[in-house]
Every structure is written in structure tokens, then in C-alpha cells.
């Protein structure tokens, strides 16, 4: 070792490149030495190889038996029946379900809207003590029950009722909106359409009503709904 160079001149390269060299040697052979591959065979490796050979042999036998069964007359007949049934099922799907095509003398009314009914119990204003007992993020001034009434809809065309339905509120606590979606054909030509809706416990009274006079051509769609902002029936 030359005394003109400091000791770290030799140590730093060993510290940097030593681990890299050791990793390469480990991957390409040193690992097998530490595993004991150079030791005499203990029988485990031979047993593992025998198990692999037995598995391959068993797979070949099963495949040969399968081919013998599949190519037998009964096997061919079974395959033909299975393929025929599959083809018949695919063919039936090309013809069904039947598509209902409406004639040119029909127009449509599409009822589509979502609206929450009124609360079953009236909301009341909390007292100061009740507000003080609540966490700051839950201090709503009004207390309302979550359960709501169903929403009922009636559609009348030319003085004749053509639809009456009721939708229950959604949600586990029955506190969600009631949803409507119905499409039904009507004759073309001039009509007066009236839609009524109630969202409370009124037995016969409908709280909302809207009407429209239309002259419907073939395939024309009249949309019936509810505007929650302006709180009125929509017919257009």
C-alpha cells in the first residue's frame, strides 16, 4: 500500500462497489452454495422430482381418457345435443323479447319527476335550552320528523282519468323522495290534459294542479312533471 495516499482512498471504493459486486456474485451462484446444493442429496429433491413426474403422468392419462370418451359415439352425440341447445338459445334471443312498435296514430305522455312528500309531523321551533344542549353543528332552529307522506298523482285527459298512482317515500326511515316514471300511449289529435298531485295526508284534495291544451302529431311526447323551485306542475 502506497503511503502517499490516505486510507479512505482505498476504503471508499470498497464501500461503494463492494455491495454491488457481492449482489452479482450472490445472484449468479453464491446463493446456491449457501442453500446447500453442493451437499449430498438428502432425498427431498429426488422425492420432489418424482412427485412432478407422477403429476405429469397422471395428467396425460386423464387427457387420454377424456379424448377417448369425447370421441366415442355417445360423447359425440352429447356434444351435438349441447351445441344444438346453445345455438337454439342464441337463435331465440334474436327474435325475442318482442319489440312493441307503436302505430303512427299514437302519441305519448311521459310522467317523470321526483318529489319528497310533506313531513308526517309538523316541524316545530326548538327552545333556547334545546339548542344549548345540542352540539354546535346540530343546532338547527327547526325540528322535523324524517318520515314523509307518499305522493299521489292523477292525470285526466279530455275529462277521463287515464292514470292514478301513488309512490312511497324512499329510504329506510321513509324520509326520501317519491319517484315517478311512467310512459303510456294516447291517441293523436287535440286534447286537454290535466295533472294533479298531492304530497300530504289530504284524503281527496290535490294540492297542485296544472293543465295544457295540445294538438299532438304522431309520436309526440308530452312531459309531465313537477317544478320544485316554482312549486307548480309542468306539462310541456
Count CB-CB contacts under 10 A for residue 77: 10
Q: Does residue 86 sit within a domain?
A: no
Strands (E) across the chain are located at 106-115, 124-125, 142-143, 151-157, 160-167, 178-187, 189-198, 208-216, 221-227, 232-235
**Longest alpha-carbon distance in the chain:** 116
pLDDT per position as a tens digit, 9-52 = 667 677 777 777 777 766 666 556 555 554 455 566 677 777 77
Average pLDDT, the chain: 82
Q: What is the DSSP string of 82-109?
A: HHHHHHHHHHHHHH-SPP-PPPTTEEEE
Q: Does residue 168 sit within a domain?
A: yes
Main-chain phi, psi angles of 94, to 5 degrees: -75, -20
Q: How confident is the model at residue 216 (pLDDT cuts 50, 70, 90)?
A: very high
pLDDT of residue 22: 74
Q: Does residue 226 sit within a domain?
A: yes
Structural domain count of the chain: 1
Question: Residue 177 is part of which domain span?
Answer: 106-120+148-235
More confident residue, 40 or 195: 195
Q: Does residue 115 sit within a domain?
A: yes
Give the domain CATH number at 216.
Answer: 2.60.40
Q: Does residue 65 sit within a domain?
A: no
pLDDT of residue 97: 64
pLDDT of residue 75: 67
Q: Does residue 97 have a cis peptide bond before it, meaning omega lies within 30 degrees of 0?
A: yes
Q: How confident is the model at residue 109 (pLDDT cuts 50, 70, 90)?
A: very high
Q: Does residue 90 sit within a domain?
A: no
Q: Tell me which long-range contacts 166-173 makes (C-beta under 8 A, separation of at least 24).
A: 169/116, 169/117, 173/146, 173/147
Cell of 197: 298531485
Q: Of 165, 129, 149, nearest to 200 (Cα)?
A: 149
76-105 average pLDDT score: 76
Q: Does residue 20 sit within a domain?
A: no
Q: Which residue has the cell 297542485?
A: 208
Of 41-45, 112-116, 199-203, where does mean pLDDT reach its minimum? 41-45
pLDDT of residue 105: 87
pLDDT of residue 222: 96
Question: Can you state the angle between helices 73-95 and 44-70, rounded to 10 degrees?
Answer: 70
pTM tops 0.75: no
Q: Does residue 209 sit within a domain?
A: yes
Q: How confident is the model at residue 104 (pLDDT cuts 50, 70, 90)?
A: confident
pLDDT per position as a tens digit, 163-173 = 999 999 998 88
Amino acid at each position: 500500500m502506497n503511503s502517499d495516499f490516505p486510507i479512505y482512498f482505498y476504503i471508499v471504493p470498497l464501500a461503494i462497489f463492494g455491495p454491488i459486486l457481492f449482489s452479482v456474485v450472490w445472484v449468479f451462484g453464491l446463493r446456491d452454495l449457501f442453500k446447500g446444493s453442493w451437499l449430498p442429496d438428502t432425498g427431498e429433491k429426488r422425492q420432489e422430482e418424482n412427485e412432478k413426474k407422477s403429476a405429469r403422468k397422471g395428467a396425460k392419462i386423464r387427457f387420454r381418457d377424456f379424448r377417448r370418451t369425447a370421441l366415442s359415439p355417445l360423447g359425440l352425440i352429447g356434444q351435438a345435443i349441447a351445441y344444438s341447445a346453445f345455438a337454439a338459445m342464441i337463435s331465440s334471443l334474436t327474435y325475442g323479447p318482442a319489440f312493441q312498435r307503436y302505430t303512427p296514430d299514437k302519441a305519448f305522455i311521459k310522467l317523470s319527476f321526483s318529489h319528497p312528500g310533506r313531513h308526517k309531523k309538523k316541524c316545530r321551533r326548538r327552545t333556547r335550552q334545546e339548542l344549548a344542549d345540542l352540539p354546535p353543528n346540530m343546532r338547527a332552529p327547526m325540528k322535523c320528523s324524517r318520515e314523509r307522506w307518499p305522493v299521489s298523482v292523477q292525470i285526466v285527459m279530455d275529462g277521463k282519468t287515464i292514470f292514478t298512482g301513488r309512490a312511497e317515500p324512499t329510504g329506510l326511515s321513509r324520509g326520501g323522495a317519491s319517484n315517478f316514471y311512467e310512459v303510456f300511449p294516447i291517441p293523436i289529435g287535440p286534447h286537454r290534459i290535466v295533472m294533479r298531485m298531492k304530497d300530504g295526508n289530504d284524503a281527496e284534495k290535490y294540492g297542485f294542479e296544472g293543465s295544457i291544451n295540445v294538438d299532438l302529431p304522431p309520436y309526440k311526447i308530452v312531459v309531465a312533471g313537477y317544478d320544485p323551485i316554482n312549486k307548480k306542475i309542468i306539462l310541456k
